[in-house]
Amino acid sequence: MQIKDLFNKNKEEFKSGSKGNEETLRPEIDDKIWAKCNGCNRALYEKMLMNNLKVCPLCSYHFRLTPQERVDFTFDVGTFTAFDYDDIGTSNPLDFPGYMEKLEASRKSCGSQDAVLCGVGEIGGYKTAACIMNSFFMMGSMGYYVGEAITRTVEYATKNGLPIVIFTTSGGARMQEGIVSLMQMAKISGALEKHSQKGLLYITVITNPTTGGVTASFASLGDIIIAEKGALIGFAGKRVIEQTIKQKLPKDFQTAEFACEHGFVDLISERKDLKENIRKILMLHKTEGTK
Amino acid sequence: MSKSAWEKIKIARMMNRPTAQYYINKLFTDFIELHGDRNFADDAAVIGGIAMYKGTPVTVIGEEKGTDVKDKAQRNFGSPHPEGYRKSLRLMKQAEKFGRPIINFVDTQGAYCGMGAEERGMGEAIARNLEEMMALRVPIISVFIGEGGSGGALALAVADRIAMLENSVYSILSPEGFAAILWKDAQKAEQAADVMKITADELLKLDIIEEIIPEPEEGAQADAEAVAAAIDDFISRSLDILSQVPAGKLPEYRYKRFRRL
Ligand SMILES: [Zn+2]
């Protein structure tokens, strides 16, 4: 497997990767630039926000992260190496009109091939494979690239006796790839089953939002499932449910807290505690590959 | 063979199209239906049990849309709740314990989208089926007899061999939903059906399924017995083919089948 430091290569693109971001963050970090909080609607200095792991200091709303920011906030400095999966290429099984253009635009604005960043790194000194989904890339939807990249990373972890941490955020299957997207759910679940058979640890970190086919596959399969505070977690979309049952849903429906209350999440973590929570879990499952 | 995808969907959704119950009664003897997920409830949208197939005990599971109006309502029109999938998994694990092949009939618009379904973890229920089915050490055969809606269909279709009836469909989402999401216009469902590649012949070309089972021109209801006989032939040949896979190698065989997709 070819590994290269995607990091340095894409630093510039990653910085500007927030274009099209609903939270309207600007490319440079500057005292004068502010972002509006989706939680409390107040204006925040971007620098203050960045210093606080992109969590609103006023209402503790957790802003969505780019994969690069997730790496910066979670992995030990300089330990993360991204896998080069450029050879996976593009799948357009439906020849869906406009899909390639849309994909190109997302690639440009996010500076990545598709909606997931995979690699290997250390968290608190413990080595782990990792997949980090990107909700800024076509809503983190899962098509062939995402499915294949995650599958390969799980297989890498299985082969090397490593745990794997998957940070999920996704609107679900990538509609433009039709049935091929659906098949990714089975493929990844199969790869995780083989990883599990070897007695290896899989930690799911569910981040905002995680829905559809990702919830109905690997997001629900972690040995330990952590949900980031306030994350939306669900199978069906809220609007679809409201149309089906012809009534309004309660406000806390499909939140991390709702999922935890109903028994589908092991723990809810604030972003500031996330790294330490993962470190502890890795430490308690230490294998030869881990260190 | 010249029907459009939309014409096929209309046939797949016909009120009088034969459902899983019909084929189970026709193809197996000594069927005993087993109920419940041992956890919450029995979901009538999924039927399952044990039966005899040409001298071999098998486990049979089907998504069941129901026959008359009352039966359809009782079965939630074939849209399972999480407990339906959990029941299916319980029965499939039981099949593994007793070395029985598993035969699944897929026929659902999709997993149910309601409050209870979310509260009881629809995502987890489907995910668990996908992961555990991949590891089962007995043959799994799935036959699509009507609609195959997304994860709700896949949860019974992590199989070694899959066939679709000629007019059945298998899709990531209903054409109505697809049109609503991508074109913001559910009225364009017919157009969506055309581009989505949801028909048996398109899915055969994409290597998603192994075989197409022919139907009469008007649809399966026109000669249900002939369709049942063709399904019988597929199941029987599939069991033969899968009996060649060395003992214990089925999970590997199944994983490879999906790994290439
Ligand atoms: Zn705030």
Chain A contact probe: residue of B85, B106, B115, B188 with most A CBs at under 10 A:
B115
Cβ distance of A187 and B261 shorter than 8 Å: yes
Name the token pair of A166.
Answer: 């998957």
Q: Average of pLDDT values for A229-252?
A: 93
Average pLDDT over residues A226-250: 94
Residue A42 CA, ligand 1 centroid: distance in Å: 6
Provide the angle, in degrees to the nearest 10, between the axes of the packed helices B20-27 and B224-243: 70
> SS3 of A75, please?
coil
Å from CA of B118 to ligand 1 middle:
28
Q: Give contacts of B174 with chain A, Cβ < 8 Å.
A: none
Contacts of B151 (CB under 8 A, 6+ apart): A182, A185, A212, A213, A216, A217, A235, B110, B111, B126
Longest dimension (CA), chain B: 53
Q: Could you tell me if A184 and A154 are in contact, meaning their C-beta atoms sit under 8 angstroms apart?
A: no
Any CB–CB contact under 8 A between A221 and chain B?
yes
Q: Considering only residues 136 to 165 of chain B, which have any Cβ-Cβ distance to chain A shorter than 8 Å?
A: 150-151, 154-155, 158
Going from the Cα of A47 to the center of ligand 1, the distance in angstroms, rounded, reads 15
The residue with tokens 């690699």 is: A119
Q: Which residues contact A145 (CB under 8 A, 6 or more apart)?
A: A85, A88, A89, A90, A91, A113, A114, A115, A116
Cβ neighbours of residue A212 closer than 8 Å, sequence gap 6 or more: A170, A171, A172, A173, A235, A236, A237, B151
Does A1 score more than 80 pLDDT? no
Q: Is the CB of residue A184 less than 8 Å from the CB of residue A146?
A: yes
Residue A291's pLDDT is: 67
Which CATH superfamily hosts domain A64-284? 2-enoyl-CoA Hydratase; Chain A, domain 1 (3.90.226.10)
Dihedral over Cα of A13, A19, A24, A30: its sign? positive
Spans of chain B below 70 pLDDT: 1
Per-residue pLDDT tens digits for A101-135: 999 999 999 999 999 999 999 999 999 999 999 99
How do residues B39-69 score in pLDDT, each as one tens digit?
A: 999 999 999 999 999 999 999 999 999 999 9
Contact A190 B131 (CB under 8 A): yes
Predicted local distance difference test score (pLDDT) of residue A24: 45
Helices within chain B (DSSP H only): 5-12, 20-27, 69-74, 82-97, 115-119, 122-135, 150-154, 175-183, 189-195, 200-205, 224-243, 250-259
Domains defined along chain B, listed by start? 5-259 (3.90.226.10)
| Distance from the alpha carbon of residue A38 to the mean position of ligand 1, in angstroms | 6
Domain locations in chain A? 1-63, 64-284
Under 8 Å between Cβ of A193 and A235 = no
Q: Between A and B, how many CB-CB pairs are < 8 A? A: 149
- Note whether A100 contacts B: Cβ–Cβ < 8 A: no
A238 to chain B, any CB pair closer than 8 A? The answer is: no
- Does residue B180 belong to the interface with chain A, where contact is any CB pair within 8 Å? no
Rounded Cα–Cα distance for residues A263 and A244 (Å): 24
Asked if the C-beta of A151 comes within 8 angstroms of chain B's C-beta atoms, the answer is yes
Mutate to test the interface with A, among B83, B118, B256 (most CBs of A within 10 A): B118
Contact (Cβ atoms closer than 8 angstroms) between residue B64 and residue B75: yes
How close is the Cα of A35 to the center of ligand 1, in Å? 10
**With an 8 Å Cβ cutoff, is B186 touching chain A?**
no
Q: Does the CB of A102 have a partner CB in chain B at under 8 Å?
A: no
- pLDDT for res B1: 55
Flag whether residue A96 sits within 8 Å of chain B, measured between CB atoms. Answer: yes
How high does pLDDT run on average in chain A?
Answer: 90
For the segment A55-62, the average pLDDT, to the nearest whole number, is: 96
List of chain B residues whose C-beta atoms are within 8 Å of the C-beta of residue A196: 131
CA distance B149 to B171: 6
Residues 6+ apart with CB under 8 A from B94: B59
Instruction: Give CA–CA dist B252/A211, Å, rounded.
Output: 29
- pLDDT over 70 for what percent of chain B? 100
Give A97's contacts (C-beta < 8 A, 6+ positions apart): B195
